[in-house]
């Protein structure tokens, strides 16, 4: 977290943008159940991918601190759920 991020967070708290959660344990349980359901992997596929693409995926995964197979699963999930963002479109 950068100093700028910290300043933004402090300003957000001071502006009253945060609310207390009254039943934290219940919320934690609900979120855990949702995460468990989301994370279920119930289907295995085999796909042939070029070595160049696999090497690029492994490099990206290393930057993110993830196993490359987890990164691939995340990319596919974002694509099929309509949340995939093209970095070329958002950077310019």
DSSP H or E run through 90: helix 87-90
For residue 84, what pLDDT is reported? Answer: 84
For residue 92, what pLDDT is reported? Answer: 55
For residue 89, what pLDDT is reported? Answer: 66
Q: Which two tokens stand for residue 67?
A: 């196993």
Note the pTM of the prediction, 2 decimals: 0.51
Give the residue extent of every domain in the chain.
47-84
CA 60, 65, 70, 75: dihedral to nearest 10 degrees? Answer: -40
Residues 70-85 pLDDT 10s: 899 889 988 998 888 8
For residue 90, what pLDDT is reported? Answer: 61
Below-50 pLDDT ranges, the chain: none
CB contact at 8 A, 91 and 85: no
Q: Rounded CA gap, 59 and 66, in Å?
A: 10
């Amino acid at each position: 977290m950068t100093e700028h991020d910290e300043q933004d967070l402090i300003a957000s708290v001071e502006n009253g943008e945060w609310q207390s959660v009254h039943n934290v344990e219940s919320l934690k349980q609900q979120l855990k159940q949702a995460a468990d359901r989301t994370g279920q992997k119930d289907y295995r596929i085999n796909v042939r991918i070029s070595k160049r693409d696999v090497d690029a995926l492994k490099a990206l995964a290393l930057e993110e601190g993830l196993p490359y197979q987890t990164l691939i699963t995340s990319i596919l999930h974002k694509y099929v759920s309509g949340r995939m963002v093209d970095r070329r479109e958002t950077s310019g």
